[in-house]
Amino acid sequence: MSAAALEPVEVLGLDETRRGRMQWRQNPETGRWEPAADRWHTGFVDAFGVQGLLGQVEGRAPSDVLAWFATTPLEWRRQIRYVAIDMSTGYCAAIRTGLLHATVVVDHFHVVQLADKMLNIVRRRTTAGLRGRACDPEWKARRRLLRPARTSPTPSSAQCGTR
């Protein structure tokens, strides 16, 4: 979409997309392998309106985002109030440089994804801690309570099973 055809946007969305597998080429001077092209692309979308995809550039560095901003009219950029991004520090830096007046918000999908990841880490850590290690006091107490009185090594635990 050409910059002249852009309608005003209140909420701009930025997200990266990987396009295909990484392709490599061998540098003839050094003999080292290096990436042939950046497979990551940044998409710019009208996140609140109906325009959809506004533009797409190769790369996901702040300089790539700023280069796309430079192709858009200044008046169009001034009308952007919010920019929705994933939690990319590169995108945040580009917005802080190119759209000083806009408020940066994190896309709800990425917030939920991060919260789910953290809950899974805590759940796994808690579950691993309850696996019945001989050194855990909780495990020792549980075993003492569940052990039949006749096989109990201590008199106090034998009393637990008789009442």
Cα–Cα dist 152/132, whole Å? 18
> Could you tell me the two tokens for 150?
């006749």
CA distances from 125 to 64, 121, 140 (A): 40, 6, 20
**pLDDT means over runs of 10, the chain (163 residues):** 75 90 89 85 91 91 95 94 93 94 91 89 78 70 72 58 47
Determine the 3-state secondary structure of 68 from DSSP. Answer: helix
Q: What is the pLDDT of residue 46?
A: 94
pTM passes above 0.75: no
Write out the residue limits of the CATH 3.30.420.10 domain(s) in the chain.
3-108
Q: Across-strand partners of 13?
A: 45, 84
Task: Tally the residues of the chain.
Answer: 163
Query: Of 54, 71, 67, 68, which is closest to residue 8 (Cα–Cα)?
Result: 54
Q: What is the pLDDT of residue 130?
A: 64
Q: What is the pLDDT of residue 163?
A: 43
Please list, in sequence order, all residues whose beta carbon lies within 8 angstroms of the beta carbon of residue 19, skipping any fewer than 6 positions away.
39, 40, 41
Provide the CATH number for the domain formed by 3-108 in this structure: 3.30.420.10
